[in-house]
Copies of this chain bind each other. A is one copy, B any other.
Amino acid sequence: MVGTLAPRRDIPSATVSRLPVYLRALHEFATRDVTRVSSEELAAQAGVRPTQLRKDLSHLGSHGVRGVGYDVGRLTAELTNALGLNRSWPVAVVGMGNLGRALAAYSGFATEGFHVEALFDHDPSVIGDLVGRHRIASMGELTDVVARLGIAIGVIATPANSAQDVADALVGAGVRAILNFAPVALALPEGVACRSVDLATELHVLAFLRQPERVGADVGRGQ
């Protein structure tokens, strides 16, 4: 490509959701002090085909070296930059039940600039409790806390019937990215990014795949 401005826009969404996987694969090589990888090695680690990896990277305008492969450090930097991971992303978790507490305690959360900075619940009997190094705040404090800490991502870990209310509260407070663990489709205004993780759906798909008539079918997201 001509010029120094990489073609950052128009990255296909399927590609975007694989970039984090490549990034993790690169970290794996880095911890083994490997400084160069071929698309074949990296793809194997990431669980995709080499062709797909190269096509995906080509959308970033990323350049490896033909005949040699990719520089682990350089490609890591490019992916980190493309994903916007060279800044801090303060996270709030709403709903401190079983799942919320596991998430709040999750150390893997803290990698790559994601930091749990606030916890909320509406149950008076848990408000004020300490989970890790944070106190559980009430829902009434949400707007102020979100603004003061600059919360960028809200995680919803409440029961399904509260999830829409919580989403509305988060959006109202200025949060524009939501990770939802409740099994409902949230209605959100344009411009608010949302990803849902749905355990029941995953189990159902596995059940479908395990039916005798359909053994071996592949529904994707296997990795």
Hey, which bits of chain A sit against chain B, CB under 8 A?
1-9, 11, 13-14, 16-17, 19-21, 23-24, 45-48, 82-85, 89, 91, 98-99, 101-103, 105-106, 108-109, 111-114, 152-153, 176-179, 183, 185-186, 188, 190-191, 193-211, 213-223
From A101, A103, A220, name the one whose CB has the most chain B CB atoms within 10 angstroms.
Answer: A220
What B residues does A45 contact at CB under 8 A? Answer: 185
Copies of this polypeptide in the complex? 2
Q: Give the residue name and chain of the B residue nearest to A111 (CB).
A: B200
Q: Which residues of B contact A207 (CB under 8 A)?
A: 83-85, 89, 113-114, 153, 177
A11 to B85, CA, bound (A): 38
Q: Can you name the residue of chain B whose Cβ is closest to the Cβ of A186?
A: B223
Once the chains bind, are A209 and B223 in contact (CB under 8 Å)? no
CB within 8 A of A195: which of B5, B7, B214, B222?
A: B222
Known: A7-B217, A218-B6, A219-B16. A201 touches B98 (CB 8 A): no
Q: Which of B5, B195, B196, B210 contacts A193 (CB 8 A)?
A: B210
Contact B1 A204 (CB under 8 A): no
Q: How far is the CA of A103 from the CA of B199 in the complex (A)?
A: 9
Docked CA distance A206–B99 (Å): 20
30 A-B interface contacts by CB (under 8 A): A1-B222, A2-B223, A4-B218, A6-B218, A8-B213, A8-B218, A9-B213, A9-B217, A17-B201, A20-B200, A24-B200, A46-B185, A82-B208, A84-B207, A84-B210, A84-B211, A85-B204, A89-B210, A98-B101, A98-B102, A99-B102, A152-B210, A179-B199, A179-B206, A193-B210, A194-B222, A195-B205, A195-B221, A196-B222, A196-B223
Q: Is the Cβ of A204 less than 8 Å from the Cβ of B4? A: no
Nearest chain B CB to A45 CB, angstrom units: 7
A133 to chain B, nearest CB (A): 15
